[in-house]
């Protein structure tokens, strides 16, 4: 796995001219899903190219220590290369791996986690389990948010950012990673947007959320999802995991890891609408959750009552605020943390170490920030028992990662 901090030695002192073409052998994939090749020790990034392939690429941008190039032709394809089912793949910026078979996707995502744990987390001889794959490789995503610009023409695009173009939207009439119900609703909602007569001031985002109530487009609407026998209410525009097909398996794994040692109390930081807390509540005497989003915290309380959970309380506030009100002793407590992409802040981690829960399960949508936090937790007296990636987003470079820790 290539590291962006490395600068090639003896690199070509003259940048390539614009649209210069060259043949390259792709060495590896970066954490962004780009193919990486070298020409006379100069690094060239070629999106949508796979390791081992000989390709023709066209340079369009030079940086201080590498160049960006478009893939022109695959001269010798990888045995793992497959035909992307989406006609917009390579133009739409939503997917990075439709050209790579699913076994290959999981292998490279595992390698990505290993690299981040070693390089950022400082873990030596790290063991990362094989990626737990999604039951559905396509048509799994239950939330889609296409964008559209200011009204410029009769048929302005409604879709996603064009690959490599920050301000250009590509029209996406169908999306193969979205659920069938969303793809059925998408043409209808696109017609409604096109039919509006007023000009959009700064463009907008269209929401399509597939729930028990159907496909909902009002971000303020209260909707519900059923997971492992419990029904959870949440606002359609707020966070809820977007792959309902793998979510039960992720929750069951977290419950299995948190329950390996019998403890009395559970703390769920960044609890959202209470999915982890309420799923695990029957295994603990008391459960305490905290959520900075007031609406989500209130719905966690509603969800507890609706599902007959009486031993869980939820607090509105920053994640570190939970420790001030805890009466649980750390040595008799387990903790689940599922922070946003930025990971945990320093104040929270310091208070967590002071509290000292006996067992800790850290769920992350960004293994890079998770690796940074794991380094701090290890230094504070925790040992890592297991690292298990889950592929919540097939065909993309994203990976969910679960780390299990115990108090040394």
- pTM more than 0.85: yes
Flag whether 102 is marked binding: no
pLDDT for 126: 87
Return the percentage of the chain with pLDDT > 70, whole number: 94
Q: Is the dihedral angle over the CA atoms 344, 346, 351, 352 positive or is it negative? A: positive
326 pLDDT exceeds 90?
A: no
Flag whether 270 is marked binding: yes
Residue 67 CB neighbour total at 10 angstroms: 21
- Residue 314, beta-bridge partner list: 289
223 pLDDT exceeds 80?
A: yes
Q: Determine whether domain 105-136+224-407 maps to CATH 3.40.30.10.
A: no
| CA 366/CA 113 separation, integer angstroms | 9
Among 123, 211, 119, 206, which Cα is nearest to 157's? 206
Flag whether 373 is marked binding: no
216 pLDDT exceeds 50?
A: yes
| CA 172/CA 161 separation, integer angstroms | 10
Average pLDDT over residues 90-95: 93
Q: Do domains 1-81 and 105-136+224-407 have the same CATH topology?
A: no
Mean pLDDT across the chain: 92
Residue 81 CB neighbour total at 10 angstroms: 17
Flag whether 23 is marked binding: no
Q: What digits encode the pLDDT tens for the residues 226-263? A: 999 999 999 999 999 999 999 999 999 999 999 999 99
Average pLDDT over residues 288-317: 95
Average pLDDT over residues 377-400: 97
Contacts of 176 (CB under 8 A, 6+ apart): 85, 86, 138, 139, 395
Q: What digits encode the pLDDT tens for the residues 370-383? A: 999 999 999 999 99
Assigned token pair, 236: 């359609």
pLDDT for 10: 47
**Active-site residue, selected from the candidate residues 95, 175, 344, 365:** 365
pLDDT for 198: 63
Where is pLDDT greater, at 326 or 383? 383
3 pLDDT exceeds 50?
A: no
Contacts of 87 (CB under 8 A, 6+ apart): none
82 pLDDT exceeds 90?
A: yes
pLDDT for 408: 82
Among 372, 335, 368, 367, which Cα is nearest to 351's? 335
pLDDT for 197: 65
Q: What digits encode the pLDDT tens for the residues 158-204? A: 999 998 777 789 999 999 999 999 999 999 999 998 887 666 666 68
pLDDT for 201: 60
pLDDT for 152: 62
Region 1-81: CATH code: 2.40.50.140
Residue 110 phi, psi (nearest 5): -60, -45
User: How far apart, in Å, do the first and last CA atoms of the chain sit?
Assistant: 31
Assigned token pair, 248: 């039960």
SS3 305: helix
Number of residues written out for the chain: 408
* DSSP percent split of the chain into helix, strand, coil, nearest 5: 25, 30, 45
Q: What digits encode the pLDDT tens for the residues 134-151? A: 999 999 999 999 998 876
pLDDT category of residue 105 using cuts at 50, 70 and 90: very high
Residue 116 phi, psi (nearest 5): -65, -40
| 54 burial via Cβ count (<10 Å: 0-12, 13-18, 19+) | middle
Domain ranges of the chain: 1-81, 105-136+224-407, 143-220
Examine the residue annotation and report whether 365 is marked as an active-site residue of this protein.
yes
Average pLDDT over residues 61-86: 95
């Amino acid at each position: 796995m290539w590291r962006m901090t490395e600068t090639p030695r003896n690199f070509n002192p003259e940048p390539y001219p614009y649209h210069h073409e060259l043949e390259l052998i792709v060495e590896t994939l970066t954490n962004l899903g780009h193919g990486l090749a070298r020409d006379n020790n100069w690094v060239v990034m070629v999106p949508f190219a796979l390791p081992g392939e000989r390709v023709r690429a066209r340079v369009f941008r030079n940086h201080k220590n590498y160049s960006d190039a478009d893939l022109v032709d695959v001269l010798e394809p990888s045995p793992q290369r497959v035909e992307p089912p989406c006609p917009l793949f390579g133009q739409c910026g939503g997917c990075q791996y439709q050209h790579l078979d699913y076994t290959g996707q999981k292998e490279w995502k595992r390698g990505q986690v290993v690299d981040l744990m070693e390089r950022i987390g400082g873990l030596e001889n790290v063991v990362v389990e094989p990626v737990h794959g999604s039951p559905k490789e396509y048509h799994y995503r239950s939330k889609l948010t296409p964008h559209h610009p200011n009204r410029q023409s009769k048929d302005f695009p409604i879709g996603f950012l064009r690959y490599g173009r920050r301000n250009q939207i590509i029209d996406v009439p169908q999306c193969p990673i979205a659920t069938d119900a969303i793809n059925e609703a998408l043409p209808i909602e696109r017609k409604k947007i096109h039919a509006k007569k007023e000009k959009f001031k700064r463009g907008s985002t269209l929401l399509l959320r597939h729930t028990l109530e159907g496909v909902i487009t009002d971000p303020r609407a209260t909707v519900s999802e059923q997971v492992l026998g419990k029904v959870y209410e949440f606002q359609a525009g707020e966070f809820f995991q977007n792959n309902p097909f793998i979510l039960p398996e992720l929750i069951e794994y977290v419950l299995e890891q948190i329950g390996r040692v019998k403890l009395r109390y559970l703390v769920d930081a960044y609890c959202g609408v209470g999915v982890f807390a309420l799923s695990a509540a029957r295994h603990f005497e008391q459960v305490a959750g905290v959520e900075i989003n007031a609406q989500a915290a209130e719905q966690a309380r509603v969800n507890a009552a609706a599902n007959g959970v009486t031993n869980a309380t939820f607090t509105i506030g920053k994640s570190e605020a939970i420790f001030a009100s805890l009466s649980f002793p750390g040595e008799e407590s387990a903790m689940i943390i599922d922070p946003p992409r930025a990971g945990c802040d320093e104040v929270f981690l310091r208070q967590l170490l002071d509290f000292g829960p006996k067992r800790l399960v850290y769920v992350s949508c960004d293994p890079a920030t998770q690796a940074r936090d794991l380094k701090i937790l290890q230094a504070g007296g925790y040992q890592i028992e297991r690292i298990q990636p889950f592929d919540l987003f097939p065909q993309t470079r994203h990976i969910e990662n679960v780390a299990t820790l115990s108090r040394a």
